[in-house]
């Protein structure tokens, strides 16, 4: 495999794009050797769903599109970023609001940490932001067997 691989897709900020983002990342990772039916793939799909949902729901109409970037460095580090054009960084909502929603960042942080990764947010030159997750690439190179990720 190459030292650096990357893929990217830009989608409209529409609820239907959440599943499109999830399918896109799933296909890219399968092409790079992650079995679609592995625990790792399930975890990454959930994280992508939450990131994309945030990009659609919490940009208050100020981001007509969002972009999903997928990068793999030297078969060691997987990075996934979701970029939108809204300047406000994600934040945990107050407990009263969390009855029906507001758990996305908690889910993302928990899954990322449990997998030995990290979450970061960086501004874009255009005034938006990218929410990045970085995870160790958990595919065993001898035979391509996926190692299970810890449950959150």
pLDDT reading at 53 higher than 60: yes
Torsions phi, psi of 65, nearest 5? -140, 165
pLDDT reading at 49 higher than 90: yes
pLDDT reading at 145 higher than 60: no
Classify the phi-psi angles of 106: left when phi > 0, otherwise alpha if psi is within -120 to 50, otherwise beta.
Answer: alpha
- Token pair recorded at residue 23: 């399918």
pLDDT of res. 112: 92
Round to whole Å and give the CA distance between 33 and 57.
32
Arithmetic mean of pLDDT, 46-75? 91
In the three-class reduction of DSSP (H, G, I as helix; E, B as strand; rest coil), residue 91 is classed as coil
Torsions phi, psi of 26, nearest 5? -60, -45
What value does the mean pLDDT of the chain take? 85
pLDDT reading at 35 higher than 80: yes
């Amino acid at each position: 495999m190459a030292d650096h691989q990357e893929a990217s897709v830009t989608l409209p900020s529409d609820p239907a794009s959440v599943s499109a983002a999830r399918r896109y990342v799933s296909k890219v990772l399968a092409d790079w050797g992650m079995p679609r039916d592995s625990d790792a793939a399930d975890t990454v799909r959930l994280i992508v769903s939450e990131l994309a949902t945030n990009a659609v729901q919490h940009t208050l109409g100020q981001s007509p599109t969002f972009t999903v970037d997928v990068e793999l460095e030297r078969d060691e580090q997987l990075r996934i970023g979701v970029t939108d054009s809204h300047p406000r960084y994600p934040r945990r909502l107050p407990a009263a609001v969390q009855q029906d929603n507001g758990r996305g960042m908690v889910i993302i942080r928990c899954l990322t940490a449990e997998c030995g990764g990290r979450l970061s947010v960086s501004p874009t030159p255009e005034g938006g932001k990218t929410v990045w997750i970085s995870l160790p690439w958990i595919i065993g190179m001898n035979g391509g067997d996926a190692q299970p990720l810890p449950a959150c």
